[in-house]
């Protein structure tokens, strides 16, 4: 996301999210999504690209371009030839009228379908973004929820509104808040720790980061921070995300560790999203 205001990257173009502990029948620590549990990636997969005028590093894996861990970019986006996205980045690529049409893959399974339903209710109850089932071929701009791994607890998504079919991939044991996190990317939110003002609030411990994953901690400056930085945002990394030694990769600016539990939208997240999608 671009930088956030309210704790979310607009990128934050996209607000960050506080309250409400969502329970789920997922495994413990399901919340530990791709950015927290990824295995080290060999350096040969580390690529350089350009997104919205900014040089970035991403991981090429399984034919997909992973940015910040769980954001999948198209080759057109990375080549600077993206005609679907307006200049300015995801924060400016919002879903018209705040409506996101969606479909769910037939092999998703009832448990994950229930998680998607619960996540959609959170968006509908607390934000101005409405997720609506796709019922017509005329609704050709939509998000397709697809099934990922039957053993993992991760997910990934395309970023912002682009037009046509976009994807949110969900593993079997992903939690409801992590489903909401991936949906946040779909509506244009980047990760909280990549805000332009993040150095005032957190330290990045580069020596503890897995080789090849350093790019996931770079600031994304081609956007706009919306609201205040929120270390509890739904879009925040875990303190040990991509750690190579079990030690913190992110600490508070005062050098202390933080305990973060992904439980749902924060007040900041809600404010950011609603600023991005005003009524």
Mean pLDDT of the chain: 83
CATH of the domain at 89: 3.40.390.10
- Low-confidence winner among 19-33, 80-94, 122-136, 198-212 (lowest mean pLDDT): 19-33
Reduced to 3 states (helix: H, G, I; strand: E, B; else coil), residue 174 is coil
For 36-53, what is each residue's pLDDT tens digit?
444 444 445 999 988 888
Residue 273: is its pLDDT beyond 60? Answer: yes
CB 257 within 8 A of CB 205: no
Number of domain units in the chain: 1
| Residue matched to tokens 């939690």 | 175
Nearest to 187 by CA among 111, 97, 64, 260: 97
**Residue tagged active-site, from 30, 35, 122, 182:** 182
What value does the mean pLDDT take over residues 74-92? 59
For 110-139, what is each residue's pLDDT tens digit?
999 999 999 999 999 999 999 999 999 999
Rounded-to-integer distance, Cα 228 and Cα 223, Å: 15
CB 97 within 8 A of CB 164: no
C-alpha separations of 157 from 18, 24, 71, 211 in Å: 22, 21, 5, 23
To the query of whether residue 182 is one of the catalytic residues in this protein, the response is yes
Residue-range definition of the domain harbouring residue 272: 4-276
Q: What is the dihedral of CA 252, 254, 256, 261, to 10 degrees?
A: -30
Q: Give the pLDDT band of residue 259 (cuts 50, 70, 90).
A: confident
- Low-confidence winner among 27-31, 74-78, 156-160 (lowest mean pLDDT): 27-31
């Amino acid at each position: 996301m671009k930088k956030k205001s309210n704790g979310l990257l607009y990128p934050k173009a996209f607000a960050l999210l506080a309250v409400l502990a969502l329970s789920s029948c997922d495994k413990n620590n399901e919340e530990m999504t791709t950015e927290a549990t990824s295995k080290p990636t060999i350096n040969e997969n580390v690529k350089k690209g350009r997104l919205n005028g900014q040089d970035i590093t991403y991981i090429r894996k399984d034919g997909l371009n992973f940015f910040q861990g769980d954001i999948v970019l198209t080759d057109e986006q990375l080549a600077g030839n993206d005609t679907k996205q307006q200049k300015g980045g995801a924060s400016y690529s919002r879903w018209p009228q705040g409506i996101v049409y969606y479909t769910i893959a037939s092999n998703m399974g009832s448990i994950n379908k229930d998680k998607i339903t619960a996540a959609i209710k959170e968006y509908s109850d607390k934000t101005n973004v409405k997720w609506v089932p796709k019922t017509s071929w005329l609704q050709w701009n939509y998000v397709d929820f697809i099934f990922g791994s039957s053993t993992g607890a991760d997910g990934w998504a395309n970023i912002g509104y682009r037009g046509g079919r976009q994807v949110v991939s969900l593993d079997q044991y992903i939690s409801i808040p992590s489903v909401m996190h991936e949906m946040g990317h779909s509506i244009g939110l980047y990760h909280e720790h990549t805000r332009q003002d993040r150095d005032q609030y957190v330290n990045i411990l580069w020596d503890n980061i897995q080789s090849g994953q350093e790019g996931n901690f770079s600031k994304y400056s081609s956007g706009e921070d919306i609201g205040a930085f929120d270390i509890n945002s739904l879009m925040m990394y875990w303190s040990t995300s991509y750690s190579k030694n079990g030690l913190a990769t992110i600490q508070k600016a005062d050098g202390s560790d933080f305990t973060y539990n992904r439980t749902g939208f924060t007040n900041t997240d809600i404010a950011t999203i609603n600023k991005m999608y005003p009524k």
